[in-house]
Chains A and B, each alone.
Chain A
Amino acid sequence: MTVFVEAKDVPTNLKQPLSNLLLSLADDEFILGYWDSEWTGVAPTLEEDVACSSIAQDEIGHARIFYQEVTALTGTPIDQLAYGRELPDYRQAQLVERHRGDWAFTIARQFLYETADLLRMESLSTSSYQPVAQAVAKIRREEVYHMMHVDIWFERLAQGTPTARQRLERALESLWPDALGLFEQFPDEDMLLQNGILTTSNAQLQQAWLASIAPDFARLHLAFPASPSSHSDVPGDVQYLPLITPRLGGRYGQHTQDFRVLWEQMTMVYRLDPQASW
């Protein structure tokens, strides 16, 4: 298996697929970080305000690393990547672009995203593209804190007051279709898999993810919109079949009204003069 040590080792036919992959990873973190940073100053407690802000900064920092890898491949500067694209050129999953909602919505989304990202980062840690493998090694260390934080809150809301529980359930119901869209197939995914840049397909990752969180949902008596069914020819192999329709399109530039609103705000100052230094 070829190992790509740096950007210039990547053959021309792989550049676009790799760049799109990196943009997806970057955009996921950047847009998630956008909404998480919106809690700064208005979180339910001052202590959570500070904690949430650290997590948001981490996410933006992770996005920055991935944007820097795109710059290495394409030459486009990171701020132009982050702020200078038109709406259909962004590649985040629609899960992360939904407005932050109330605290339950933020925690529910965080739980779904972090548990999924845990598996995605693990699978990328052995990518044949070395810069990604190295970036991911650092990111995984920082995600330990995020996972701890969201685990604590997910439990507390699920086992909290009736109001907390209800809000969590409502949030999850609203988010599940988007969560299933986290593992939408990437453009040119087959090519990326063949070259080892991706080590696991999205379909496989989704199965691993559903299997990893099903026990939590069962334990907390929360609705889980996927039912396990065993393969008859492979004893013990459980496949999770989603019972709801996933909302797809993010990886192909299809986005929601929430993202349109976000993009207007986010690029407001940048668009005053995209050539200017700020």
Chain B
Amino acid sequence: MSDFSGNILGQPMPSASDEGEVFEVFQQDQKDPFPHHGGNVRAPDGELAVHYAREFYGRRQESSRLWIIPRSALLEVRTQTPLPPAREMFGDGETQVNAAQSFAVFGQKQAGRPLVWVQDLEEMAPEDAEKVTRRTAQNIEGGYVRLWVCPRSAILELTNQDLLQPPLDRSYRRLDGYNIREKLRIARQRVQAEKELSS
């Protein structure tokens, strides 16, 4: 788990997983202006994480792009949460990242809602990234409940349309693939006929 600056207000995120790593998955479909948090997935490493992200957040062709981010690369920054962070539960990570690089920032505007991509921060040191993020949280009208920051280099991106939008018919797994109207009409007719016969 990486701790960007040693600042204890930044929280590395929890998991009791003893088999592999947790990867957070952001998804975006054609209509979305930017990616939003879909959930997370567990995998032994990045290569399989991409596969599993496709399965859990793309097998219904619901995404045209996925961002798969190891949780260890994400830092949570909080400002307005009504509840204190569970700081005492999780230990500090080793200090890693020092050089200047780009960061992605994701934010949660409202309690309970998923995080969405907010902005990219170009070429700055990790401590500065955290400061900018904190300012973003406070300045934007209404603020953000919490934000996630990660180096852009940690993001695994899946855009391969052969995987995300395969061409063959999958209507068997969609609600719109079923039309029972005619079958219902026939069934009702039969039931009506039986009623008339017995009366």
Contacts and interface: CB of A to CB of B under 8 A. Distances in A.
Chains A and B share a contact (CB less than 8 Å): yes
Interface of A: 47, 50-51, 54, 57-58, 61-62, 65, 138-139, 141-142, 144-145, 148-149, 152
B176 to A, nearest CB: 17
A138 B55 contact: no
A144 B55 contact: no
Contacts of B167: 138, 141-142
A148 B54 CA distance: 12
A259 to B, nearest CB: 26
B159 to A, nearest CB: 13
Contacts of B168: 58, 61-62, 65, 138-139, 142
Nearest to B43: A47
B143 to A, nearest CB: 36
Interface string B17-50: 0000000000000000000000001110001100
B154 interface: no
A141 B162 contact: yes
A47 B42 contact: yes
B166 interface: yes
Nearest to A148: B51
A51 B160 contact: no
B56 interface: yes
A51 B162 contact: no
Contact of A141 (B41, B59, B166): B166
Contacts of B88: none
Contacts of B47: 152
A145 B162 contact: yes
Nearest to B163: A145
A142 B55 contact: no
A65 B167 CA distance: 12
A142 B166 contact: yes
Query: Contact size class for B?
Result: 10 to 19
A50 B167 CA distance: 20
Interface of B: 41-43, 47-48, 51-52, 54-56, 59, 160, 162-163, 166-170
Contacts of A142: 162, 166-168
B20 to A, nearest CB: 9
A144 B51 CA distance: 12
Contact of B48 (A47, A54, A58, A139): A47
Nearest to A139: B168
A30 to B, nearest CB: 15
A47 B168 CA distance: 23
Contact of B166 (A51, A65, A145): A145
A54 B55 CA distance: 8
B9 to A, nearest CB: 34
A152 B51 contact: yes
A54 B54 CA distance: 10
Contacts of A138: 167-168
A61 B52 CA distance: 21
B56 A50 contact: yes
A62 B77 CA distance: 48
A144 B163 contact: yes
A23 to B, nearest CB: 19
A264 to B, nearest CB: 25
Contact of A61 (B43, B51, B162, B169): B169
Contact of A149 (B41, B51, B166): B51
Nearest to B55: A50
A152 B48 contact: yes
A33 to B, nearest CB: 13
Contacts of B56: 47, 50
Contacts of B59: 50, 54
A149 B43 CA distance: 14
Contacts of B160: 144
Contacts of A54: 55, 59
Given A62-B168, A65-B168, A152-B48, A47 B162 contact: no
A269 B168 CA distance: 27
A214 B52 CA distance: 29
Contact of B51 (A51, A57, A58, A62): A51
Given A62-B168, A65-B168, A51 B52 contact: yes
Nearest to B183: A277
A138 B162 CA distance: 10
